[in-house]
Structure 1
């Protein structure tokens, strides 16, 4: 017993020593990146912010200044979903200034190109690898990377406060919190905590204006329970099966209440099994998520960047092949040196982490949306309309449950004279937008349309 107590005390003081030995924040201006030809034509900063009770979690970030007017343009903190997917997914595949040149891998470093529809054209964006264990973020504490929704939200909030204290020139910029997918669970909690701080006059006072969410996980009943009516609306299941499921499940497709309901849902799932759930318009391909080789762990003491690929690789041309390029790029030593990744902190970089032990302890964030929007903050909720991971049907359903009056009814919105989707605005500054033909991460599929959507909404223009 005494020996165990001594070990615990020693471990506790070791954590304190590690936390005190590292600065709260470190940062570097990046002028060029391996794989990109010439100097970067935008301002990029990378760094770490220490968060947690003992500053044990080191959250890595990419900060890109607005290419228009960084002193006055909005500041967006962007949270990537997963949970545990790297912020680099947003930087290179969704709303950031970079993209990969889509060529077949030949053993050389994948090449980077510019994204002409980057959201950094009109806004400053902080992309953060969170929670620790995702991307290049790591911990000095327990190596099992245990976390949950509440802790993830708390550390994202702490990250932002510390980052802004170190970057006071952006304190007056309009602040928005943005994210997609599973960030829909974390983000509303972060926004409410910021709002609480503002009401309590907690320094520093942030200039919070609202939030942005794409295909957001929100409530398991609405998110999961919407796939049957969405499948019927898309013409993927028959009228007879839909009517049977509606009758036997009594409209509740989240919980299987009886044998007949279970059989109907099995039939629906069988009909959808051959589809790409993230975007039913695209082919179903192998999902690339390289793992560390047997015996390797991502840890503070293991700096190996060797990784093994899936037995079957996606075909060239598949969207998931683009994800493969990020693994080759981010696991290259020259890239890590350029990004100023701390040596010895991360072994294999994964686009979406497999090492985080994550507890989903927030089943619904609807009440957060109600609280935030009732306080006057703006909200933009958008959905790629061909996503089956979080169908827009469910998103619309929980928005309706807020019982906000409609102020601008359902209508189309256009880009370059073509319908880009549909939109509806509600009281309390809540706007819902569909992106026609887009999948789960809408800007990845329809970058031009989503860029136009953001610019109009940020500028308070009609969609």
Structure 2
């Protein structure tokens, strides 16, 4: 299992339906031989006064200390329907055999969507309804920077990381919005290491905010899974990068 902490992966699968009873144990998945080697639960969480909106989730238990390990909520960005890519490409504990489709990443994404919409897979995951892609957006968020500021000044630790090869959202842009917060620098720009090799650079700010680049990293964690896992493991356990 690639992540040793328990996490709740909310798939942004918005349903306009009545309340669906949540909490189903998944022991087998089509395409995976034998029982799953981890504890997986899927279900729905109701949102709104009448729970008219349902969010589908995966809950995977820690393989270490389930009583003391922290809970991680993973939300993928964008206006997509599902965070399945995060589960299969970025944080585990299952993964597609990407080496079979080397240099064909987007084709692999397409195959995953086909797999996820297969009726046998949906039945195994206890997916009750198909997602609603006609979501009425009542307002637009111009910037998420105020949200980051509110969380950090409220005492929440934060780790912001960027791949230094990300051409979609370059790490210089990440540095710019962090700079706009005007937080004092606690630990200035320095390399962080893996086995005596530079894996990126990091800077620590006031209000428990840490920024780091990942050498050779792209737009998401899947491009450098080993480095991303190590940096997250150090941060979540309170160790210096």
TM bin, normalised by shorter chain, reads 0.7 to 0.9
The 1:455–1:103 alpha-carbon spacing in structure 2 relative to 1, beyond 3 Å, is closer
Aligned with 2:49: secondary structure? coil
Larger CA Rg, structure 1 vs 2: 1
1:149 alignment counterpart: none
The Cα shift of 1:53 comes to: 3.3
The 1:103–1:360 alpha-carbon spacing in structure 2 relative to 1, beyond 3 Å, is farther
8 Å CA contact 1:84–1:356 kept in 2: the answer is no
The Cα shift of 1:328 comes to: 2.5
8 Å CA contact 2:189–2:203 kept in 1: the answer is yes
2:238 alignment counterpart: 460
The 1:318–1:461 alpha-carbon spacing in structure 2 relative to 1, beyond 3 Å, is same
Gaps of 5+ in 1: 1-17, 105-314
Aligned pairs for 1:396-411 within 5 A: 396-411=175-190
Aligned with 1:100: secondary structure? coil
1:26 alignment counterpart: 22
2:55 alignment counterpart: 59
1:324 alignment counterpart: 110
8 Å CA contact 2:29–2:36 kept in 1: the answer is yes
Aligned pairs for 1:216-255 within 5 A: none
2:85 alignment counterpart: 89
1:181 alignment counterpart: none
Spell out, residue by residue over 1:139-176, the C-alpha distance to the aligned partner (whole angstroms, 9 max, x if none). Answer: xxxxxxxxxxxxxxxxxxxxxxxxxxxxxxxxxxxxxx
Spell out, residue by residue over 1:71-124, the C-alpha distance to the aligned partner (whole angstroms, 9 max, x if none). Answer: 1111011111121241211110111211111376xxxxxxxxxxxxxxxxxxxx
1:80 alignment counterpart: 76
Spell out, residue by residue over 1:51-73, the C-alpha distance to the aligned partner (whole angstroms, 9 max, x if none). Answer: 12332112111111112222111
The Cα shift of 1:323 comes to: 0.6
1:380 alignment counterpart: 159
Task: Report which of the two has the higher share of helix.
Answer: 1
The 1:103–1:434 alpha-carbon spacing in structure 2 relative to 1, beyond 3 Å, is closer
Aligned with 1:26: secondary structure? coil
The 1:322–1:418 alpha-carbon spacing in structure 2 relative to 1, beyond 3 Å, is farther
Aligned with 2:222: secondary structure? helix
Paired positions, count: 225
Spell out, residue by residue over 1:202-258, the C-alpha distance to the aligned partner (whole angstroms, 9 max, x if none). Answer: xxxxxxxxxxxxxxxxxxxxxxxxxxxxxxxxxxxxxxxxxxxxxxxxxxxxxxxxx
The Cα shift of 1:439 comes to: 1.0
**What is the rounded CA distance, in whole Å, between the counterparts of 1:359 and 1:323 in structure 2?**
30
**1:49 lines up with 2:45 in the alignment:** yes
TM-score in terms of structure 2 length: 0.86
**What is the rounded CA distance, in whole Å, between the counterparts of 2:192 and 2:237 in structure 1?**
16
Note the aligned Cα RMSD (angstroms): 2.0
1:293 alignment counterpart: none
Task: Report which of the two has the higher share of strand.
Answer: 2
**What is the rounded CA distance, in whole Å, between the counterparts of 1:102 and 1:396 in structure 2?**
32
2:215 alignment counterpart: 436
TM-score in terms of structure 1 length: 0.46
Gaps of 5+ in 2: 1-16
Aligned pairs for 1:40-439 within 5 A: 40-102=36-98, 317-342=103-128, 345-346=129-130, 355-358=134-137, 361-439=140-218
Aligned with 1:69: secondary structure? coil
Which of residues 32, 38, 59 is equivalent to 2:34?
Answer: 38
The 1:56–1:371 alpha-carbon spacing in structure 2 relative to 1, beyond 3 Å, is closer
1:274 alignment counterpart: none
Aligned with 1:371: secondary structure? helix
**What is the rounded CA distance, in whole Å, between the counterparts of 1:60 and 1:372 in structure 2?**
25
**What is the rounded CA distance, in whole Å, between the counterparts of 2:146 and 2:139 in structure 1?**
17
Spell out, residue by residue over 1:396-450, the C-alpha distance to the aligned partner (whole angstroms, 9 max, x if none). Answer: 1111111111111111112233211110001111100101111111x21111111
**What is the rounded CA distance, in whole Å, between the counterparts of 2:153 and 2:52 in structure 1?**
36
